[in-house]
Chains A and B, each alone.
Chain A
């Protein structure tokens, strides 16, 4: 069995890669790394990895982890997630998520005091056939803001630094996560012949969010901490209409189309016996700074209501068991559980704001929906030695997210019975890599 895997494995993987390249995915509807994790090992271990990541996943989990790598590697894979969200017993139309994961690690081959010091790495996730997709609904439209955040490519590049000569086991790292702001002006006018003309000037401007991390580990245990800054990709288009029969004000269209809250993750792992690793992580997300997707449309228009999201604390536990390690093949089984509390209040009536952003005494319906989630994860990792220097890795994972039923304060429409939301998410994927 194993020799035939060695023999045909590369061809099989090549076919899988070709499938990954050529397959056209459906539109995903979530910030993938925040919902499903990044890579294929961490998502099988309940999104943990802050203390032990040593490959491309460190770009998102903890860039200090890069500094553990001593070999170059490239990785590629596919992942997908489906939503079964229920709104008053009816299926909520959320599209499936699918995309490609790409990663690399490059220890910089300096000598002298920089020897084995610096490791460059990157991790990317790209939803199929799209870089960024955002939908901004009216605030009164029922919408799953947290789960339905824009479909966006994740781009993270970082540097890990190993300080083993100062403190054995100490590493720090920094990476940047990139999002795109879309800014621009659209001027439309009718000329004297009633012909339409327009000047459209838009720019994609990068928005950066640093990720800072540190880790300390010994042979059988380790700890790590990561702070990810808020990443807010905005769309900001000004629309001016000239020479129309009526004078209309300048519109400002857009809002927050891609938002990841600032987050602090603290984690530790312990290997009580050689093949077993246990992991515990606590992650705090600072959703209280979330501005909401909507924005004021013109100078005299009302401000959208404050979403009033809360800080969340998410516990994660995971275990990894090395079930085989012989004849050039190693295998690991992974299990994990995470609790993802919702930052959102139940949908309800909230104070309406005037054009200055002050409460005007009215109430408006705010139907931003979200539920607490229990997440169970499963994963398998395989490593094939190809030569003394090169090896092939293959990781696969599956996840089940169960949304705890929630009853909201208002109905889907004015006067309707209170909203009931529940559902589940299924996700899976694989990543293969070549280390050399």
Chain B
């Protein structure tokens, strides 16, 4: 005998489904949002300036607003590629910031139990060639703080959403991010002063990539056919890199008994920080085929933890008297202490639009535009640190087509979307308080160009 559910039990199932999906999103993959924060996910949403939290119609909803995945009628599979080329300069010299490119992907799987619609979704970005990259630079080293290393991480966002009533969708997830701890011990013998070939070393390693959790959540409401609102929250996370390196060896020199050397290095730094952020957006459809969106995002950069971390070194060498002229051991080594970044919160306005012309039941074309203004959260770098950043104006254009002529093979449609995004970072002056600052004053700015395309297959 089959069991048929009441509405109440269906809602309990929905609750279970929500909980299960929260578990699903607890996949401890290397998850990050920063590349998408800067360069978007999916060509349609990127072309609209990311102002899509109130109305997102493809699997990029997994990033922009997980509530949106409950609004799809069928399974959607999205795959694409983007290539971003930073041309950032300091005093006219190319800062050599790496290009950022990789695959974007998304999947949404809707279902219903009784009257309640729900959906699971997965979306993200896999950078070319690597899961993640971490870079720890010398403390004073100038670096484009938001673009140098932080975008080079995989994004894997998995979510669940429910649609309890036809005009309301609620979604969310918990994601994990990874950080590393390395404990390295090296022993053996090191030959010096002509005995280098006698060096014979062994190692012990304790290594871990650990995970931390952070939440995402969103709501979408459609009070009328032509008006939608969206609210989306992403939690904060910070990744630390910790390294303990210990070298305890005997030193071999000609004519002298082996003597001990010991080096202990400990470093800890925050390698990628993504602030919590809250987006509020609205979408209106004033005319048939026309959609306009506006959105504002509060980004809590005020709690930013600088990548300039702590380090300490212990170095002892039992130098025999006969070698004291050759080996000079410092009596103390200055430890590195963390330096506050002193970033500020920022409000980011976003605007986007889309116009769709439907030429037939199986063919339509869409044109899109977007604009985003991000004021820099970083203060002018007047002191020790050189965490370079500038304001950013982001202009984007896009073109898309929907093809529905592949039936019966594909009972649905194929969207092919392309985008071009130009980010302009106006020159910004950084004037040092100290006239003897080793970095000195500098002027920083540049442009970032981003191109991409996605294909989204929708099943009815």
Contacts and interface: CB of A to CB of B under 8 A. Distances in A.
B261 interface: yes
B210 A130 contact: yes
Nearest to A184: B134
Interface in B1-57: 1-5, 9, 12-13, 15-17, 19-24, 26-30
B332 interface: yes
Interface of A: 6-7, 10-11, 13-14, 17-18, 20-21, 72, 74, 76, 100, 102, 104, 106, 108-114, 124, 126, 129-138, 141, 153, 155, 180, 182, 184, 186, 188, 190, 193-206, 235, 237, 239, 241, 244-249, 251, 253-255, 257, 294-295, 297-298, 300-302, 327-328, 384-388, 390, 432, 434, 436
Contacts of B30: 131, 204
Contacts of A237: 182, 184
B132 A203 contact: yes
5 contacts: A109-B411, A182-B209, A200-B241, A203-B131, A253-B203
A180 B211 CA distance: 15
Interface residues of B, number: 98
A14 B16 contact: yes
B113 A386 contact: yes
A10 B200 contact: no
| Residue in B3, B210, B410 with the greatest tally of chain A CB atoms within 10 Å | B3
| Residue in A129, A202, A328 with the greatest tally of chain B CB atoms within 10 Å | A202
B263 interface: yes
Given A11-B15, A111-B410, A155 B29 contact: yes
A302 B180 contact: no
Contacts of A246: 190, 192, 251, 261, 317, 327
Nearest to B114: A387
| Residue in B24, B139, B210 with the greatest tally of chain A CB atoms within 10 Å | B24
- Give 9 closest A-B pairs by Cβ, nearest first: A200-B136, A10-B16, A204-B131, A297-B201, A14-B19, A195-B334, A131-B209, A112-B409, A76-B23
B16 A387 contact: no
Given A188-B265, A205-B131, A235-B205, A387 B20 contact: no
Contacts of A10: 9, 12-13, 15-16
Nearest to A136: B205
Interface stretch (B291-299, B307-315, B348-356): B307-315
Contact of B178 (A18, A106, A131, A384): A131
Contacts of B184: 237, 239, 253
B225 interface: no
Interface in B415-448: none
Given A203-B130, A390-B113, A129 B210 contact: yes
Contacts, number: 284
B335 A196 contact: yes
Given A104-B24, A131-B210, A198 B199 contact: no
B171 to A, nearest CB: 15
A283 B190 CA distance: 46
Given A245-B329, A301-B188, A100 B196 contact: no
A297 to B, nearest CB: 4
Given A11-B12, A201-B134, A328-B2, 16 more contacts: A21-B23, A109-B75, A124-B27, A126-B28, A130-B208, A131-B28, A131-B211, A134-B208, A155-B29, A194-B330, A197-B336, A204-B133, A247-B192, A248-B247, A386-B3, A436-B111
B277 interface: no
Nearest to A327: B1
B311 A110 contact: no
Interface of B: 1-5, 9, 12-13, 15-17, 19-24, 26-30, 74-75, 77, 107, 109, 111, 113-114, 120, 129-139, 174, 176, 178, 180, 182, 184, 186, 188, 190-192, 196-211, 241, 243, 245, 247, 251, 261, 263, 265, 267, 311-313, 315, 317, 327-330, 332-336, 407-411, 459
A434 B129 CA distance: 35
Nearest to B9: A7
Nearest to B17: A434
Contacts of A129: 28, 210-211
Contacts of A112: 408-409
B410 A196 contact: no
Contact of B133 (A20, A133, A203): A203
Given A74-B21, A235-B207, A434-B20, A200 B134 contact: yes
B141 to A, nearest CB: 8
B334 A301 contact: no
B327 A385 contact: no
B137 to A, nearest CB: 6
B214 to A, nearest CB: 13
Given A21-B174, A113-B409, A297 B333 contact: no
Contacts of B201: 249, 251, 297-298, 301
A134 B15 CA distance: 38
A388 B2 contact: yes
Contacts of A432: 20
